[in-house]
Each structure stands twice: as C-alpha cells, then as structure tokens.
Amino acid sequence: MDPYEVNEHEIELDETKNLEIDLLLQGIYQLSGYDFRQYMRSSIWRRIKNRMRVEKVPTVTRLLEKVIHEPAFIKVLLDDFSINVTEMFRDPHFFYSFRTKVVPLLKDLPEIRIWHAGCSTGEEVFSMAILLHEENLLEKAKIYGTDMNENILEKAKHGMFPLGKMQNYTKNYLKSGGTHSFSEYYTTDHKYAHFHSALKKNIIFFQHNLVTDRSFNEFHVIICRNVLIYFNTNLQQQVHELFYESLCPNGFLALGDKETIRFVTRADSYIEFDAAEQIYRKV
C-alpha cells in the first residue's frame, strides 16, 4: 500500500502552515503551470514535510524561496507531488473483471481506444496490452498512456521493469485470468525484465495533465485508477466532466478501489457496471 495514502483528518494543519502552502502552490502554478492547489491538503503536506526535512529548511516559505530563485527546484517538488506507486495487474480481480465482463462488449468494435490517465511508469498500460493480446484485440486497439510527469513517462516508454518484481507480477497476472506463461512476454538482463516490443506497437505515451489539459479524443474505455484519491472533491468533479466528455456513448470508466463516482454530480450519467471493481458505464 502506498504509505502516502493518508486520511484527510490524520494531520492537523494550522492557519499559518495552510497560508504558506497556499503561497507555495500558487508560486509553483504561476511559474510552471502545474496546478496542485486542489490536491488533498493532507497528502501535499506530507510531501512538503519530507522535502523540508531533506532540504533542512524550517518553514514552507523557505521552499517557496527556492521555487522562486532556483528554477530547477520546481521539478524536485513535481516529483515529490506525483506519487508513482504502481504495479502490473494491480488488483488482479479488477483485470479479471475487465477481461471477463468488459472485453466481450468491446469485441465487435472496429477500433478500441483506451485511455490510461495517470499511468505512472506504465505497468498498468503493459498489463492491458497483454490482456488484449490474449483476447485477440491488441491489433485493433489504441492504448493511450498519459501522466502529468514527463520523467516517469520516459521510463514508461522503455517497458522495462525491475526483475525483482516479476514474481509478484506473475502472481497478479495469473490471478487476473492470464492464459499464458507470464515470462513469455519479456526477456531479462541481470536487472530488468524487458517487455516485447510487439506489445508497445499500439501504445502511445504522452504528457497530459488532468487538471489543466483538455480532452484529446473519444474513448471506449477510460481507466484512471489511484489518481483521483489525491484530488479534493471539487477537482474530482472537474476531472469527471473531462472523462464524461471524453467517453463514447456506452463507454466504460474504471476507477481505483478506494475511489467512487457516487458522490460526484456526474454519477447520474453512469450505471454501475461492476460495483465491486469500480467499473462504470456511460448511459
């Protein structure tokens, strides 16, 4: 579990700290365009505290000074704020549900467009490519993997993941309904598993910020898991508008296991397709 997934009420923030954080986030926004002003305060605060510890500065305002006077420092905070925890076939039961319930409804489409929003280092995207390959759908699929963080997208493009993680990923793959031997999909060196380039053929990775960028296509499936959990309610509403606009009629929206559409205004525009796995269908 991501150690940063904290309860909103767990950390008390006083007025001064809140003001300093407001100013820091405003500074980052004005100087870089990255907008963290509506991220969950508790989680942002946790990261700011870590950074203060590393930089050995006593106040948030000192970080703001660095943001203003040392342009490269914004990238450091951007990496701090973008939590990249992910794994292949994460929550295998979700992938099982996708394979057994959603895939049959996609089979007859001439082209299948899937958007992984907030894809981190790409493990989720490669999992989907493998699943679609096994269902004979990869050829007609276009999988868009986007994230706000360019650095991690560079990693995603390589499709190579630490060898030490393959044991766990193999277990996930099998639980998710995988039908082959997982090791068929990669070759190894002493450190990494390199996934076959045939899997990458229909994957497009590029930078997209859910807070500030617009819709860029119409999708049959949008998968945005373990991202909205870091946004406040207002920002979640905004991003759900973006997803609604970007989904085809009858398209599927999948969220993470701690996320729900129930409390957003757009909830009425969806049916719960698989409530246990947070898979919704646009009506």
Q: Contacts with ligand SAM in 103-122 (CB under 6 A)? A: 118-120
Distances (CA, A) of 125 to 76, 134, 156, 227: 25, 14, 9, 15
Can you name the residues that pair with 279 across neighbouring β-strands? Answer: 254, 274
Give the nearest distance from C-beta 9 to ligand SAM in angstroms. Answer: 21
Give the nearest distance from C-beta 257 to ligand SAM in angstroms. Answer: 9
Q: Is 209 in the site for ligand SAM (CB under 6 A)?
A: yes
For residue 157, which of 218, 108, 206, 115 has the smallest C-alpha distance?
A: 206
For residue 243, which of 210, 208, 272 has the smallest C-alpha distance?
A: 210
Q: Which is nearer to ligand SAM, 60 or 128 (CB)?
A: 128
Distances (CA, A) of 160 to 47, 163, 192, 281: 27, 9, 6, 32
∠ CA 143-245-149, nearest 5°, is: 50
Number of other CB atoms surrounding residue 197 within 10 Å: 8
Q: Is 236 in the site for ligand SAM (CB under 6 A)?
A: no
Choose which of 24, 28, 227, 264 interacts with ligand SAM (CB under 6 A).
Answer: 227
Q: Is 176 in the site for ligand SAM (CB under 6 A)?
A: no
Residues 6+ apart with CB under 8 A from 213: none
Q: Is 20 in the site for ligand SAM (CB under 6 A)?
A: no
| DSSP E strands, the chain | 112-117, 141-147, 160-162, 186-188, 192-195, 203-207, 219-224, 247-255, 270-274, 279-282
**Interaction pattern, residues 121-140, with ligand SAM; x per rule: CB under 6 A:** ---x----------------
Q: Is 211 in the site for ligand SAM (CB under 6 A)?
A: yes
Give the nearest distance from C-beta 119 to ligand SAM in angstroms. Answer: 6
Using the contact rule CB under 6 A, the part of the chain among 23-31, 95-103, 204-212, 273-281 near ligand SAM is: 204-212
Q: Which is nearer to ligand SAM, 226 or 278 (CB)?
A: 226
What is the C-alpha separation between 49 and 213, in angstroms, rounded? Answer: 28
How far is residue 238 CA from its own chain's centroid? 16
Give the nearest distance from C-beta 128 to ligand SAM in angstroms. Answer: 11
Q: Contacts with ligand SAM in 144-173 (CB under 6 A)? A: 147-149, 152
Give the nearest distance from C-beta 105 to ligand SAM in angstroms. Answer: 22
Using the contact rule CB under 6 A, the part of the chain among 46-54, 142-150, 166-174, 181-189 near ligand SAM is: 142-150
What is the C-alpha separation between 64 and 67, in angstroms, rounded? Answer: 5
Give the nearest distance from C-beta 201 to ligand SAM in angstroms. Answer: 21
Q: Contacts with ligand SAM in 48-87 (CB under 6 A)? A: 82-86
Q: Count residues near ligand SAM (CB under 6 A).
A: 21
Is residue 200 within a helix (H) or strand (E), and if so which, with residue range?
helix 197-200
* Interface residue list for ligand SAM (CB under 6 A): 82-86, 90, 118-120, 124, 147-149, 152, 209-211, 225-227, 256
